[in-house]
Structure 1
Amino acid sequence: MKIAIIGAGAMGSLFGGRLAQAGEDVWLLDVWEEHVAAIQAHGLTLVDTTAETSIRLNATTQADDIGPVDLVIIFVKSYATPDAAQTAAALLGPATTVLTLQNGLGNAETLAKVLGAERVVVGTTAMGATLLGPGRIKCGGQGPTHIGSFSGGANPRLHDIATIFARAGIHTVVDSNVTALVWSKLIINVGINAITALTGIPNGQVMASAETRELVRLAVAEAVAVARASGIPLPHTNYFDQVATVAQATRDNRSSMLQDVTNRRRTEIDAINGAIVAAGKRLGVPTPVNETLTLLIKTLEQTYLS
């Protein structure tokens, strides 16, 4: 299968590298010229606890280099989704599927407006990765990937994608309840991302002290209350335990928001904790902890983005 990955940061590179290792025709597309040049020259290096592996695959900064593909995977930050949708439009063939594995709310809706809802597949992943430098990423944890049709109709490509991912070592489940999937991932991100970004700790330490555990508990409880007020049929009853499980499974990983803050980049706070605050205001559900976390991250961003 010919696959284009838009957004070759830590997670996009991880998926691209694994899929290329499994024999798929993979193209990484990213605006970071130094990263792309390193991959073109030396391959993509995947670092794990036991070894470093160099993988040869296609990488470019220009969508015109790629041509039509069978599958587009979107891994850009949520605020870049409108631009990614326009880029993906240039890669479409008659039967191209577009899969979003992004954080936050609203990405699938943005893609569907430009590309058509019938093409869009929504997913979440518990895989973890950290960008070490141009052409180098560290694998940061294993976890399942779930995918489902955004339109709710049958999509024959879903099982093909799951099979291809499984061959690449990415355990993937086809799921019919994609809205609940996205909200479940959002709630887990609410419990990890902003807290790690503000404190500088890896995922495994968010449950290491009574103070951070309480922050997690309060932030997650607000997110669950908003989800329930929205009528979302959440698949788990105890999301504090779910956060603890994910944090332990990715204990050495630095969350994407922590990586953004470390590298002085704009974060996805508006699509994560900020999305809980916005939905809470619409629904009349108080979200003071998530509002505080959102304001703290925005204050931190202003110290390096202004």
Structure 2
Amino acid sequence: MNNNMTTERIKTERPSSSAVTKSDGQHWVIAGAGAIGIWIGAHLVAGGQKVTFLARPKVISNIQQHGVLLTSWAGEETQLSALQMQMTEDESCLADADVIVVAVKSKDTFAMAEQISRHIKPHARVISAQNGINNASALSNILPDHPVASMMVPYNVLPMDAGRYHCGTQGHLVIDRIFTDLAKVIRSSGLEIQTADDMHEILWGKLLLNLNNPLNALSGVPLVEELSDKRWRKQLADCIDETLTILDELGIQPKVQAPIPASWLPAILKLPTFIFKRVAKKMLQMDPLARSSMQEDIMLGRPTEIDYINGEVVRYARSLGMNAPFNEMVISQIKRLEQTAQSAC
């Protein structure tokens, strides 16, 4: 991987200092308003955009009761009233959308694409703001007459009590350059964003880092505590190293949001902890209580996205006639943990 992505192929777009912008006349629908969907959509609302949230009844009830409070480890606090948040569980809201942001779990991509296909109007555009590699392609297959692009979401957002959504890690959004105009709207709403023409490599870069999600779930401790333990870092390094070997066979150079090449990650993770904390100081800059969304899924007895993270690595390995034993082991451990957690619930 080269480390010049920010100067050669990506245009940086930083948040505007303006607190509120006027709507550009487009209607945004957040299709699958979980934590990430609320975080992105609520920023758009705060920026003056017209936004409807297609959400589950539990989410709607919570926000109708409390409104939304966006907070972050860096000190952000943005309050929105319940009246500002247009929430619905009626999929017909998709018929009025100019931009649809798909923020459901990867396992629900097909079902959401089917809902969208029943209502989407001509010229509407679709953004996949999901984990995994192939969600935009899956959406395109069902919506062949509509522009579909990926948006990489690097940070961790968890729902808290009373309508609070807390971002515990850092990073900036990246969206396909074909949607540069939408990037400008997102940026003006207070979210840092970049545009890129190599989203496949960027999504693989995110997946490399997401290989820590299941390990964090298995550890049962916050991310900072887990990454400060060399035993967990060694397992992450093995999974990343294994994935890099497979990607090399595929001719893919993953791009990570870090000031180092992806190929250096395994060696850095294996450093003694006191050296790691110095070398990877930026990696540890997060809320000390932040946990992965997969750990939250396990705690709540929900299915995880393991099949679309480590499972993706295993599928590509098998397509090449290769094995991925480290990633396979993590999948097996998470599946057992899922069963235990679901039985307890």
Structure 2 residue aligned with 1:119, among 136, 142, 147?
A: 147
Structure 1 residue aligned with 2:213, among 189, 193, 196?
A: 193
Residue identity opposite 1:248 in structure 2: L
Give the equivalent residue in structure 2 for 1:102. 130
Give the equivalent residue in structure 1 for 2:233. 213
Structure 2 regions of 5+ residues with no counterpart? 1-25, 256-260, 270-279
Pairwise CA distance, 1:91: 4.6
CA contact (8 A) 1:162 1:174 kept: yes
What is the CA–CA distance in structure 2 between the aligned matches of 1:108 and 1:291, rounded to whole Å? 25
Q: 1:65 to 1:40 in 2, by over 3 A?
A: farther
Give the equivalent residue in structure 2 for 1:58. 86
What is the CA–CA distance in structure 1 between the aligned matches of 2:287 and 2:159, rounded to whole Å? 16
CA contact (8 A) 2:205 2:254 kept: yes
- Three-state SS of the structure 2 residue aligned to 1:94 is coil
Deviates more, 1:260-269 or 1:57-66: 57-66
Deviates more, 1:243-252 or 1:181-190: 243-252
Percent identity (aligned): 29
Specify which structure has the bigger relative contact order, considering alpha-carbon pairs within 8 angstroms and separated by 6 or more residues: 2
What is the CA–CA distance in structure 2 between the aligned matches of 1:78 and 1:239, rounded to whole Å? 28
What is the CA–CA distance in structure 2 between the aligned matches of 1:117 and 1:178, rounded to whole Å? 21
Q: 1:48 to 1:172 in 2, by over 3 A?
A: closer
Deviations 1:207-255 (A, max 9, x none): 2011111111111111111111122133334352798577424454221
Please state which structure has a larger fraction of its residues in strand: 1
Pairwise CA distance, 1:286: 3.0
Does structure 1 residue 68 correspond to structure 2 residue 89?
no
Give the equivalent residue in structure 1 for 2:330. 293
What is the CA–CA distance in structure 2 between the aligned matches of 1:286 and 1:245, rounded to whole Å? 33
Give the equivalent residue in structure 1 for 2:21. none
Deviations 1:119-171 (A, max 9, x none): 1111212232111146331122231111116xxxxx3xx11111111112221
Q: 1:26 to 1:170 in 2, by over 3 A?
A: same
CA contact (8 A) 1:69 1:91 kept: no
What is the CA–CA distance in structure 1 between the aligned matches of 2:122 and 2:281, rounded to whole Å? 41
What is the CA–CA distance in structure 1 between the aligned matches of 2:297 and 2:282, rounded to whole Å? 20
Q: 1:181 to 1:167 in 2, by over 3 A?
A: same
Q: What is the number of equivalent residue pairs in this alignment? A: 297
Does structure 1 residue 256 correspond to structure 2 residue 277?
no
CA contact (8 A) 2:114 2:142 kept: yes
CA contact (8 A) 2:122 2:146 kept: no
CA contact (8 A) 2:217 2:298 kept: yes
Give the equivalent residue in structure 2 for 1:277. 314
Pairwise CA distance, 1:261: 0.6
Q: 1:127 to 1:91 in 2, by over 3 A?
A: farther
CA contact (8 A) 1:19 1:165 kept: yes
What is the CA–CA distance in structure 2 between the aligned matches of 1:51 and 1:171, rounded to whole Å? 13
Q: What CA RMSD, in Å, does the superposition of the two structures yield over aligned residues?
A: 2.2
Does structure 1 residue 6 correspond to structure 2 residue 31?
yes
CA contact (8 A) 2:123 2:146 kept: no
- Three-state SS of the structure 1 residue aligned to 2:175 is strand
What is the CA–CA distance in structure 1 between the aligned matches of 2:203 and 2:37, rounded to whole Å? 18
Structure 1 regions of 5+ residues with no counterpart? 150-154
Pairwise CA distance, 1:305: 3.5
Deviates more, 1:258-267 or 1:138-147: 138-147
Give the equivalent residue in structure 2 for 1:27. 52
Structure 1 residue aligned with 2:246, among 226, 242, 266?
A: 226
Deviates more, 1:38-47 or 1:75-84: 38-47
CA contact (8 A) 2:29 2:97 kept: yes
Does structure 1 residue 303 correspond to structure 2 residue 340?
yes
Aligned residue runs from structure 1 range 118-157, under 5 A:
118-133=146-161, 135-148=163-176, 155=178
Give the equivalent residue in structure 1 for 2:191. 170
- Three-state SS of the structure 1 residue aligned to 2:110 is helix
What is the CA–CA distance in structure 1 between the aligned matches of 2:336 and 2:313, rounded to whole Å? 18
Considering only CA atoms, is the larger Rg found in Structure 1 or Structure 2? 2
Residue identity opposite 2:322 in structure 1: V
